[in-house]
Chain A
């Protein structure tokens, strides 16, 4: 069968909402798009361990420590699922990690913002995981089978993540005046970067066309962002915190909130490496990877010796 015919059949399967599996025909561009998106997703899970991991030793109660540690561990598990799903496309985890280290692969920019106070553990779970869930729920319907299934698995754990974050920030919002101040400050710092997690406006998002046509992406950046805002505003009100956006107001006609313009200069600057923690996050990952090299070698050497026996 000619390549053109295969591509037509492929698109027909996509249009009929069939899942594409690893052994199925897929256009090379589809494969490359998935590798880029899925590895970026996996790297984000793993790099995302750092801002919260940074607070485990300082968690203010045994209960909080256990929950946070379990949460960060979940993110490692998410990274693992998605790396494995990406490997079904014919790349290895090692290659993906080396692309990350070379700066060729990206991860979510949100993790380039520092986690400064305990309230940030609240804001991150509530807003960052909240935004991630909005995105991942939509991705459960993505056309690539292994990616879709990993999203289903992950979404089950994510609601716990958002709840634990909201619980932290809610407790602080009704605590002492210092705690309340920290809670509001965390919301102020994480609100806009969370909205940026959905990416540029649809009109400025060059790859969206193909991704929508192939049903890798099922809903647009702007639609997802709006959904996240609409469900989050009342959660802030409920605990007496103020969303740092003077233009935010309910639009009766649209049945949605109108909101202010995102600072896209900041967005692009952080994407391109200009965030306060970009270097730190990547160096931490490289250091852990390099420090672990002798352990991986030892495990491989041991396995080889004892396989031959």
Chain B
């Protein structure tokens, strides 16, 4: 988005969101590397893992087809992250609850900024209405993964580190329905939902993202930057 925003103020605002997310990722990965205790750093986790070892939701790797796609993708992720950080901010692990409490404040802002764009685009012009509806329709199949559960999720739920899939689903649907109603948009027909990112299955976009992101580290493995 940076240098590609629809106007300068929004270019700056979107970059702020990006900076927040980068900071959150860095904090979480640094802690993950420490817990793993195999001498890997946060950067190793980012720059040296192959595609199948990335467990991000497919939603997050979808392209910025237009401004509406970027807004809708990030809006849905902000809702999800808000719930995740809210839960993690209350856990016993102080490092994790610290990261989550800080992130929660940032994500609250993301939710309101992006939610405002959903409203403005939905209730703006005919064209913007169609574009944002299209974005919701086309991204909808990736929402199912956000409340899917595997064994690890169940373990985390058991120790209070996660809410149940059902709770997540009803939270997401109620938030999204009310914001779509406000934006004069409609909830997409329930269609096929993707599954698999928790097993390292992705859409084809991730490979290109990693290729670009990991290029220097892979081309010059002995270098420090």
Contacts and interface: CB of A to CB of B under 8 A. Distances in A.
Physical interaction between A and B: yes
Interface residues of A, number: 46
A8 interface: no
Contacts of A296: 6-7
A62 B6 CA distance: 26
Interface stretch (A46-54, A126-134, A263-271): A46-54
Contact of A305 (B7, B42, B43, B123): B123
A249 to B, nearest CB: 33
Chain A interface mostly helix, strand, loop or mixed?
helix
B105 to A, nearest CB: 18
B19 A73 contact: yes
A302 B9 contact: no
A172 B225 contact: yes
A298 B66 CA distance: 14
B47 A60 contact: yes
Nearest to A42: B8
A292 B19 contact: no
A65 B18 CA distance: 11
Contacts, number: 129
Given A64-B225, A83-B8, A297-B128, A69 B18 contact: yes
Interface stretch (A147-155, A175-183, A197-205, A239-247): A175-183
B225 A118 contact: yes
Interface in A44-78: 46, 49-50, 53, 56-66, 69-70, 72-73, 76-77
Given A69-B22, A178-B220, A291 B66 contact: yes
Chain B interface mostly helix, strand, loop or mixed?
helix
B224 to A, nearest CB: 6
Given A58-B213, A80-B8, A302-B119, A295 B16 contact: no
Contact of B121 (A77, A168, A172, A298): A298
A73 B225 contact: no
B127 interface: yes
A65 B4 CA distance: 17
Given A46-B8, A302-B124, A69 B3 contact: no
A282 to B, nearest CB: 13
A64 B224 CA distance: 12
Given A60-B47, A62-B42, A299 B120 contact: yes
Contacts of A118: 216, 225
Interface size for chain B: under 10, 10 to 19, 20 to 34, or 35 or more residues?
35 or more
Interface in A259-309: 284, 288, 291-299, 301-302, 305
Given A49-B2, A57-B212, A291-B6, A298 B120 contact: yes
A137 interface: no
A305 B120 CA distance: 10
A79 interface: yes
A303 B15 CA distance: 23
Contacts of A53: 2-3
A172 B215 CA distance: 16
A195 B121 CA distance: 46
A38 interface: no
A4 B131 CA distance: 57
A118 B23 CA distance: 22
A236 interface: no
A26 interface: no
A185 to B, nearest CB: 15
A171 interface: yes
B8 A79 contact: yes
B223 interface: yes
Given A62-B22, A76-B12, 10 more contacts: A62-B29, A66-B19, A179-B220, A179-B223, A284-B3, A291-B4, A292-B6, A294-B67, A296-B6, A302-B119
26 contacts: A57-B212, A58-B212, A59-B216, A60-B47, A61-B225, A62-B26, A62-B29, A66-B22, A66-B26, A73-B19, A76-B2, A76-B12, A77-B12, A80-B12, A83-B8, A171-B225, A176-B220, A178-B220, A179-B223, A291-B4, A292-B7, A292-B67, A293-B6, A295-B121, A297-B128, A302-B119
